[in-house]
Chain A
């Protein structure tokens, strides 16, 4: 990708992650997921998109509409919210393989 991209490719690979949200009592309902960025390592703080939390909002998506709100506390979401974060290997860490995803997606032959 060329020398100029070196630092950003490294930064991206180190910081990139995926976030998934699911319901504690209904794992079979599947999950919502998006991408995210790891901001700090210890503790691991992650910034991700808020769209995956809409189904968990106690007050429904209406809670997102007040124009000048800058934050909503964690308890705006129901207690059944379960979150998981996954990222690639970081220095010296060993990592296993992800379980295979559902076969809902395939590469279509052109």
Chain B
């Protein structure tokens, strides 16, 4: 996702209408949004999450921070004073169409439009665009990996498909979890806000007329379906629970899941695998294989006691193209509190040894809890690899979600095929004997004393 000036950009700054005086009609809130906010970010976790807020930056006490958390879910309906419209402008009614809640699927592209730093230099920053996908949804609380900066709170987020309908407003542009920048933006879906506005406007003298003007939730004007087809590959991501540890995994066959060794390290141990789509199920399984700690390939293979019914099985890729649009699906950030999150980016590097890909890097946002999850090619849906880690600088403690490392599926596929067809683990055991050049490539993964360590 990147910030790009909108089409109206002129050399030497944007042309702007002069500022127009406005009046506050209502302050609006969506209780469902705020309860999801409190569920996912509130209570004892509050101390882990930090948010950029629209209020001037000042030291806040714990209580004020709790207040700030609750205040995050408030929006305002304004009326601009008449006068100053350009000729002909008055004749135009709706400025936007609004997508119904739930109309946009996880993984579908979104476009955020906001003005970093608000009204501070609008000739430079007005309506700056940022692209991403719908990463997750919990009721009206939506998440996108489109990058937004302070000042874009309240900016619109639009569906990228045919009608460009308004989907949500930016609620919290930046959030940090335990001082790690998450790279996800919190959004509030617009339909519940407009419903709250219509109900509240009845309390104002001319409220009914104003309520009638508000944009309704519509499909595409020409009857085209608005709902994005959900990319099938989102459903193959599963959550793997091993004792008190959890991570992500990918279903390769109805009873075969691949994850990371550091998620399920002990062979023969029992694990519980959760799948959310097509329905929420939890199935017991066993670790049939896990690479050694010393292996550069951080991989474990799970055999389930029942089929994962209805879960689409991914098609393993055979080639990799740097620059390809990719998506990562995993249970990072929210774990079991939400279904899997989708983040998007590009395949930023394919590292090879003797012309064989042994490491993939992407610009997707990858967080703790995502390891073991699938990396897909967005255009084809093919499975490219298994996410193993993001990057952490042990000197500063900073984590870089958008620089992460995956194991190419081509490294695993022959051995997985052999195991599926014959039950023979021989091919998988070979992963413990990777050549020295491969170890060198993955050296940041292994725990070395006093050097940079990269692990989720």
Contacts and interface: CB of A to CB of B under 8 A. Distances in A.
B162 A61 contact: no
A81 B24 contact: yes
Interface in B90-130: 90-97, 109, 111, 113-115, 117-124, 126-127, 129
B17 A40 contact: no
B274 interface: no
B50 to A, nearest CB: 15
Contact of A98 (B27, B94, B123): B123
B7 A13 contact: yes
Contacts of A46: 22, 77-80
- Between A15, A82, A104, the greatest number of chain B beta carbons within 10 A of the residue's beta carbon is seen for A15
Given A8-B158, A12-B164, A61-B68, A88 B6 contact: yes
Contact of B158 (A11, A71, A77): A11
Nearest to B150: A34
A91 B4 CA distance: 21
Contacts of A26: none
B56 A8 contact: no
Interface in B29-45: 29-31, 34-35
Contacts of B426: none
Given A74-B24, A90-B89, A33 B119 contact: yes
B75 A48 contact: yes
Interface residues of B, number: 102
A9 B111 contact: yes
Contacts of B79: 43-46
Interface in B58-98: 64, 67-68, 70-72, 74-80, 82, 85-97
Contacts of B96: 11, 14-15, 37-39
A43 B451 CA distance: 62
A70 B78 contact: no
Contacts of A53: 24, 27, 74, 76
A38 to B, nearest CB: 4
A9 B130 CA distance: 10
Given A65-B70, A92-B86, A12 B27 contact: no
A17 B115 CA distance: 8
A62 interface: yes
Nearest to B199: A70
A17 B131 CA distance: 18
Given A9-B111, A12-B127, A42 B85 contact: yes
A70 B31 contact: yes
Contacts of A93: 17, 85-86, 89
Nearest to A11: B164
A83 B199 CA distance: 24
Nearest to A88: B8
Contacts of A109: none
Contacts of A7: 162-164
Given A49-B153, A88-B127, A19 B77 contact: no
Given A9-B129, A97-B13, 14 more contacts: A1-B129, A5-B111, A11-B158, A11-B163, A12-B129, A33-B119, A46-B79, A70-B29, A73-B203, A74-B23, A90-B17, A92-B87, A92-B89, A95-B17
8 contacts: A6-B164, A11-B97, A12-B113, A34-B118, A39-B215, A62-B67, A92-B89, A97-B15
